[in-house]
């Protein structure tokens, strides 16, 4: 250990490395030849100064307590859903726990108990669409869905498309029908049929598929908005899921005798061309309940049931909700 002697104004200060602690008594000078500082206890003959050496080990730094590792970041709130990620398909699921509002693309989702929801993809849905939730703390969480394309039944014909124009007299009759359909589809009844496992309203030959379309010399016509089932005139058909009858009218120009059932969450079924309607507006119906009979009323070329499903502004394929007909 290096030791230096410093003398100042008659006082002696002994400087050592960090290994020793000094307790100085009087200010008398420590005589030359004093015992070494590394002895355990030293004092001069007069007892004027006492120096106690403390082993260097007593000054060794104790290891600091390690800081606890940082907590891992909380996982982002999750969407949970299942269904058919395909054009004309749908999903049923649950939004994140603290969701205040949610959207699918530009469409606002209705949220039920425990943030349960139903949503669907239009026949012409884009390749991707985003589920987005605004949370109660002001943050957002989103998930991008990939929507599979469909190979639609397209018929190309070498004839010109008929003019879509209508006479004023025809529109005067059609306008209140159209308005009644729009108002019925906008009704919110609190129905919970959207959670049901849908069944076929009737079984029989499928005479028209959802999404089929004609192209008239390169100009596309309107696509088929539902599925046509031809089991024979007069055959009873039933509600495919529970709901509330929001429209039950006879004699519409295009639809003939028409029934619309609200299944809740913006999802509704329409049944066209009936020969008979056996329910009234405002009735609550159960899955499998008889609601009408197959016919050819309105603009129809033969007896069949046209069943269409719509969620808000999107049309979906009934076949994807029911599965293949048994």
In this structure, the answer to whether residues 169 and 123 fall within a common structural domain is: no
Q: Token pair 């010399």 is at which residue?
A: 217
Phi, psi (deg, nearest 5) at residue 25: -80, -105
* Residue of 288, 299, 322 whose CA lies nearest to 206: 322
Q: What CA–CA distances, in Å, run from 203 to 173, 181, 271, 322?
A: 34, 26, 14, 12
pLDDT at 213: 95
pLDDT at 326: 78
The pair of structure tokens assigned to 265 is: 């969450």
In this structure, the answer to whether residues 53 and 164 fall within a common structural domain is: no
Section 19-28 average pLDDT? 38
DSSP-based three-state secondary structure for 269: strand
What is the tens place of the pLDDT at every residue in 172-213? 999 999 999 999 999 999 999 999 999 999 999 999 999 999
Q: Token pair 């055959």 is at which residue?
A: 235
In this structure, the answer to whether residues 95 and 206 fall within a common structural domain is: no
In this structure, the answer to whether residues 128 and 229 fall within a common structural domain is: no
In this structure, the answer to whether residues 90 and 185 fall within a common structural domain is: no
pLDDT at 165: 57
Q: Is the alpha carbon torsion for 150, 151, 155, 160 positive or negative? A: positive
In this structure, the answer to whether residues 129 and 204 fall within a common structural domain is: no
Beta bridge partners of 306: 228, 272
Q: What is the mean pLDDT of the chain?
A: 84
In this structure, the answer to whether residues 270 and 171 fall within a common structural domain is: yes
In this structure, the answer to whether residues 244 and 267 fall within a common structural domain is: yes
Answer yes or no: is pLDDT of 151 > 60. yes
Number of folded domains that form the chain: 3
Query: How far is 267 from 186, CA to CA, in rounded Å?
Result: 10
In a domain, 22, yes or no: yes
Which residue range forms the structural domain that includes residue 54?
3-59
Query: How far is 235 from 99, CA to CA, in rounded Å?
Result: 46
Rounded to 10 degrees, the C-alpha dihedral 313/190/136/146 comes to -40
Q: How far is CA 138 from the centre of its chain?
A: 17
In this structure, the answer to whether residues 168 and 232 fall within a common structural domain is: yes
In this structure, the answer to whether residues 130 and 248 fall within a common structural domain is: no
Q: What is the pTM of this model?
A: 0.76
pLDDT at 180: 98
What is the tens place of the pLDDT at every residue in 114-149? 999 999 999 999 999 999 999 999 999 999 999 999
The answer to whether the beta carbons of residues 201 and 236 sit under 8 Å apart is no
Q: Which residues have a Cβ under 8 Å from the Cβ of 237 and sit 6 or more positions away?
A: 201, 202, 271, 274, 290, 291, 292, 293, 294, 305
The answer to whether the beta carbons of residues 287 and 269 sit under 8 Å apart is no
**Pairing of β 219-220 and β 205-208:** unpaired
Query: How far is 210 from 308, CA to CA, in rounded Å?
Result: 8
Query: How far is 147 from 134, CA to CA, in rounded Å?
Result: 23
Domain containing residue 263: CATH number: 2.70.70.10
In this structure, the answer to whether residues 129 and 158 fall within a common structural domain is: no
What is the tens place of the pLDDT at every residue in 276-308? 999 999 999 999 999 999 999 999 999 999 999
* Residue of 91, 213, 61 whose CA lies nearest to 152: 213
Q: How confident is the model at residue 167 (pLDDT cuts 50, 70, 90)?
A: confident
Q: What CA–CA distances, in Å, run from 185 to 59, 262, 286, 316?
A: 84, 7, 19, 15
In this structure, the answer to whether residues 211 and 243 fall within a common structural domain is: yes
**Pairing of β 154-157 and β 128-135:** unpaired
Q: How confident is the model at residue 161 (pLDDT cuts 50, 70, 90)?
A: confident
In a domain, 72, yes or no: no
Q: What CA–CA distances, in Å, run from 85 to 80, 131, 147, 157?
A: 14, 12, 5, 31
């Amino acid at each position: 250990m290096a030791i230096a002697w410093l003398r100042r104004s008659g006082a002696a200060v002994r400087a050592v490395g960090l290994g020793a602690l000094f307790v100085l008594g009087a200010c008398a000078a420590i005589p030359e030849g004093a015992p070494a500082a590394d002895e355990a206890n030293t004092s001069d003959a007069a007892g004027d100064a006492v120096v106690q050496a403390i082993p260097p080990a007593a000054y060794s730094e104790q290891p600091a307590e390690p800081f606890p590792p940082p907590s891992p970041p909380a996982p982002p709130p999750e969407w949970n859903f299942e269904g058919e990620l395909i054009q004309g398909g749908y999903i049923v699921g649950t939004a994140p726990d603290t969701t205040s509002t949610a959207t699918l693309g530009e469409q606002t989702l209705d949220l039920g108990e425990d943030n349960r929801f139903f949503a669907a993809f239009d026949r012409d849905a884009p390749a991707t669409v985003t589920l987005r939730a605004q949370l109660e703390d002001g943050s957002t969480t989103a998930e991008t869905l990939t929507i599979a394309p469909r190979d639609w039944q397209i018929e190309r014909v070498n004839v010109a498309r008929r003019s879509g124009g209508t006479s004023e007299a025809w529109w005067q009759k059609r306008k209140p029908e159209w308005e009644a359909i729009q108002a019925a589809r906008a009704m919110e009844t609190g129905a919970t049929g959207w959670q049901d496992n849908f069944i076929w309203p009737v079984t029989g030959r499928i005479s028209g598929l959802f999404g089929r379309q004609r192209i008239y010399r390169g100009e596309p016509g309107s696509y088929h908005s539902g599925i046509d089932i031809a089991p024979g005139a007069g055959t009873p058909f039933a509600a495919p899921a529970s709901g509330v009858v929001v429209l039950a009218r006879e004699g519409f120009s295009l639809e003939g005798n028409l029934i619309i059932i609200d299944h809740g969450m913006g999802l509704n079924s329409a049944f066209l061309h009936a020969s008979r309607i056996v329910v009234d507006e405002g009735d609550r119906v159960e899955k499998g309940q008889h609601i009408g009979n197959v016919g050819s009323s309105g603009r129809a070329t033969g007896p069949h049931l046209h069943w269409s499903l719509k969620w808000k502004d999107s049309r979906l394929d009934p076949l994807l909700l029911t599965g293949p007909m048994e």
